């Protein structure tokens, strides 16, 4: 059985002071949620403060991006070697990175390999744009992102990845995918791609999340779907009550 995972992507929100406040509010609420892996992904500048507050809890910590080199003359970048001291997870290939910062399947692929090499668990984001969706290219686009983004990735030795299916048109729009529609992409495109890359058995082991306008009041319906193993949450992860409700919904389906 795949353990549900609920990750909060804080995006470019929260100063250190705000982050401390939110995490202090979240920890006691989330402490009683069992059977779910909860992960917070704040901006880099919050990682140290949040790591200190999460010590001794069962809440994991992740970053939102990284470079693929361990170090070097790359002004403004953060490396997997640096992250590995602070975090266990890293979101890679988010559509905002692909759209605004020109990330490609090739750079995502380098990052995934580097993250695994440094013991991080990548949360790899895939998903089609509105235009691609409306022209019936979802399967083609998501399949390409999976096969190219994960080409040559080696999951032997207990290495782990997580996939997040985030249709771009559902992100921050309040217009979530239907649970059935999202599940269909997971079942028909993402798990078959995982089978092609890593074998049939692994395709049933890797956790696949849904992301895009997941809130406290719509989360439960996603978790009843057989292929959806959790959620990658943006806006609602900045609100302690909403994020807790999402984690609780995942717990009741674990």
**149 vs 235, which CB is nearer to ligand 13P?**
235
Q: Which stretch binds ligand 13P (CB under 6 A): 70-78, 132-140, 178-186, 230-238?
A: 230-238
Q: Which stretch binds ligand 13P (CB under 6 A): 20-28, 48-56, 189-197, 232-240?
A: 232-240
Q: Which stretch binds ligand 13P (CB under 6 A): 50-58, 102-110, 180-188, 205-213?
A: 205-213
CA-closest candidate to residue 219, choices 33, 13, 18: 33
In the set 62, 122, 167, 212, which binds ligand 13P (CB under 6 A)?
Answer: 212
In the set 26, 92, 112, 214, which binds ligand 13P (CB under 6 A)?
Answer: 214
Active-site residue, 180 included:
no
**How far apart are the C-alpha atoms of 149 and 245, rounded to whole Å?**
32
**227 vs 242, which CB is nearer to ligand 13P?**
242
Active-site residue, 67 included:
no
Least separation in angstroms between CB 138 and ligand 13P:
17
Answer yes or no whether residue 235 interacts with ligand 13P by CB under 6 A: yes
CA-closest candidate to residue 160, choices 94, 208, 231: 208
Answer yes or no whether residue 232 interacts with ligand 13P by CB under 6 A: yes
**92 vs 146, which CB is nearer to ligand 13P?**
92
**62 vs 198, which CB is nearer to ligand 13P?**
62
DSSP, residue by residue, 133-190: HHTT-HHHHHHHHHHHHTTT----TT---EEEE--GGGTTSS-PPPHHHHHHHIIIII
Answer yes or no whether residue 43 interacts with ligand 13P by CB under 6 A: no
Q: Do residues 41 and 89 lie in contact, with contact meaning Cβ atoms separated by under 8 Å?
A: yes
Return the structure tokens found at 219: 């989360």
Least separation in angstroms between CB 170 and ligand 13P:
6
In the set 183, 213, 244, 248, which binds ligand 13P (CB under 6 A)?
Answer: 213
- Which are the contacts of 25, defined by CB distance < 8 A and separation ≥ 6? 240
DSSP, residue by residue, 189-240: IIHHHHHHHH-HHHHTTSEEEEESS--TTTHHHHHTSTT--EEEESGGGGSH
Q: Do residues 126 and 161 lie in contact, with contact meaning Cβ atoms separated by under 8 Å?
A: no
Answer yes or no whether residue 166 interacts with ligand 13P by CB under 6 A: yes
Answer yes or no whether residue 65 interacts with ligand 13P by CB under 6 A: no
Helix ranges restricted to H, 12-171: 16-30, 47-54, 80-84, 95-100, 105-117, 130-134, 138-149
Active-site annotation, residues: 94, 166
In the complex, which residues of this chain contact ligand 13P (CB under 6 A)? 9, 94, 166, 171-172, 211-214, 232-236
């Amino acid at each position: 059985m795949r353990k549900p995972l609920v990750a909060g992507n804080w995006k470019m929100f929260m100063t250190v002071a705000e982050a401390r406040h939110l995490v202090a509010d979240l920890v006691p609420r989330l402490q009683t949620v069992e059977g779910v892996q909860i992960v917070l992904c704040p901006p880099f500048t919050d990682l140290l403060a949040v790591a200190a507050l999460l010590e001794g809890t069962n809440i994991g910590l992740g970053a939102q991006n990284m470079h693929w080199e361990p170090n070097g003359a790359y002004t403004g970048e953060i490396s997997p070697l640096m992250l590995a001291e602070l975090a266990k997870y890293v979101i890679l290939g988010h559509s905002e990175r692909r759209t605004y910062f020109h990330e490609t399947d090739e750079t995502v692929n380098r990052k995934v390999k580097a993250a695994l090499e440094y013991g991080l668990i990548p949360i790899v984001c895939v998903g089609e744009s509105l235009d691609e969706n409306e022209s019936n290219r979802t399967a083609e686009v998501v399949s390409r992102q999976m096969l190219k983004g994960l080409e040559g990735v080696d999951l032997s030795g207990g290495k782990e990845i997580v996939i997040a299916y985030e249709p771009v048109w559902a992100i921050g729009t309040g217009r979530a995918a239907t649970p059935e529609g999202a599940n269909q992409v997971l079942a028909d495109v993402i798990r078959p791609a995982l089978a092609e890359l890593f074998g049939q058995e692994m395709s049933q082991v890797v956790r696949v999340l849904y992301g895009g306008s997941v809130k406290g009041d719509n989360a439960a319906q996603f978790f009843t779907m057989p292929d959806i193993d959790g959620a990658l949450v943006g806006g609602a992860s900045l609100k302690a009550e909403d994020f807790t409700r999402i984690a609780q919904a995942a717990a009741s389906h674990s």
